[in-house]
Amino acid sequence: MRTLIDIEEENIKELDRLAARQKRSRAALIRDAVSDYLDRNAVEDSGEAFGLWGERKTDGLRYQEKLRSEW
C-alpha cells in the first residue's frame, strides 16, 4: 500500500546515501525501518491481558458465576 509522509530534507539525503551504499531503494529502507520500529514497540496481546484480575478482590470464576446467575 502506498502512503504519503513528510520527512525532513536532511533525512531524505541520508536515506539516499544509505540506499546507494546498500544498493537498495529508499522505499525498501523505509519499509525496513517501519517494520523494525513496530517490532520494537509491539505489545503482546497476552501480556496486556495477563493479570487483569490481579487488583480485584474477587476470583474471576466466582465473578462469572455471579453474573450468569443473574440471567
- Condensed to tens digits (0 to 9), the pLDDT of residues 6-44 reads 999 999 999 999 999 999 999 999 999 999 999 998 876
Structure-model confidence comparison of residues 65 and 19, the more confident one:
19
Cα separation of 48 and 63, whole Å? 20
Confidence band, pLDDT 50/70/90 cuts, at residue 59: confident
In this prediction, residue 60 carries a pLDDT of: 74
Judged against a pLDDT cut of 60, whether residue 47 lies above it is answered with no
Structure-model confidence comparison of residues 9 and 2, the more confident one:
9
In this prediction, residue 49 carries a pLDDT of: 61
Q: 10 Å Cβ neighbour count for 54?
A: 6
Burial classification of residue 3, based on how many CB atoms lie within 10 Å of its CB (0-12 exposed, 13-18 middle, 19 or more buried): exposed
Q: Rg (Cα) of the chain, in Å, rounded? A: 24
